[in-house]
Structure 1
Amino acid sequence: MKKFRTGLLTKYPKGYIISLVHIKSFNGEMLSLIGLFLSIIVLSRILLYNRYFPVRGIACSSMPDQPAEGIMVLDLRAYNESYKNPVPGARNIPVAYLHRYYKEIQHNNIHIIASDKVQRNFGIRILKQKGFQIKGCTIANINA
């Protein structure tokens, strides 16, 4: 089989193929490697997006002294962190337990307390998928 390589394109007798991984014998192996490579890229982008990209429309502020009527304060920090720096009137459900215990959340409108941005983003996305309205968030200072 004759082939002519020009940059990223490789010309085979039946047409051009974009080659990210160049294999001498072309019988579908190259396409399966490209598919595997692209699926790894897509999965890694999804995982990175869910954790590290901020959720739009949620304003982070300092913790209000008295939350508004009908808004529940939900503490997403781990039990040992929330024990050291408790927030009066907050319900503590760590992010790792949200899928299991989200039915214990009584109100639809929620103000979130998280220990860092990753925990905040992940918790907001989980709660939005479950149908809750997030009204605000606070990043708690661990060293306080």
Structure 2
Amino acid sequence: MTVFAAAAAIALILYLTREWYRRYIPVRNIPCLPIQRMEGIPIVDVRDYNNRQVITLERSMNIPYSYLQKAFNDINGQEIYLIAATKLERNMSIRFFKRKGILVKGYALSDHRGCKEKSRLNTMQM
């Protein structure tokens, strides 16, 4: 019984470590960009429908993260820009697109926390 308990504890620790990494460790080499620099490549907005009321972009595809599994086939092309509400949404979405073979060229956060190049969506005129 102790061997089983030890194996279960190790499996649980590995699972929790993987989930922590997937959610909270950012993907490297993907820049935070202002919306004005996101030209020529489709923009995917993964914010929830109720979070997009303040700012909406006419040229973006609105696919909340919870619907990505069903709707990622609607994304044309191999490169996109990403708009997310939080760092968690950003990390999860970038990893999802990476698994599907879609390259994320840059992102913008609607609350801009952690973005060195202040890409605050709330202050931009669209």
Q: Pick the TM interval, shorter chain.
A: 0.7 to 0.9
Number of matched pairs = 114
Whole-angstrom distance in 1 between the partners of 2:69 and 2:121: 28
Name which of 102, 107, 124 aligns with 1:137.
Answer: 107
Whole-angstrom distance in 2 between the partners of 1:60 and 1:88: 20
Greater share of strand: 1
Report the counterpart of residue 125 of structure 1 in structure 2.
95
Report the counterpart of residue 5 of structure 2 in structure 1.
33
Aligned pair 1:60/2:32, yes or no?
yes
Name which of 55, 74, 90 aligns with 2:44.
Answer: 74
- How far 1:62 moved relative to its partner? 2.0
Gaps of 5+ in 2: 112-119
Name which of 16, 25, 34 aligns with 1:44.
Answer: 16
Q: TM-score, normalised by structure 1?
A: 0.74
Counterpart AA for 1:81: N
SS in 2 for 1:40: helix
Greater share of helix: 2
Q: Percent identity?
A: 29
Counterpart AA for 1:117: K
Greater gyration radius: 1
Aligned pair 1:113/2:113, yes or no?
no
Where does structure 1 differ by over 4 angstroms across 4 or more consecutive aligned residues? Answer: none
Larger RCO: Structure 1 or Structure 2 (Cα < 8 Å, ≥ 6 residues apart)? 2
Gaps of 5+ in 1: 1-28
- How far 1:106 moved relative to its partner? 1.1
Report the counterpart of residue 116 of structure 2 in structure 1.
none
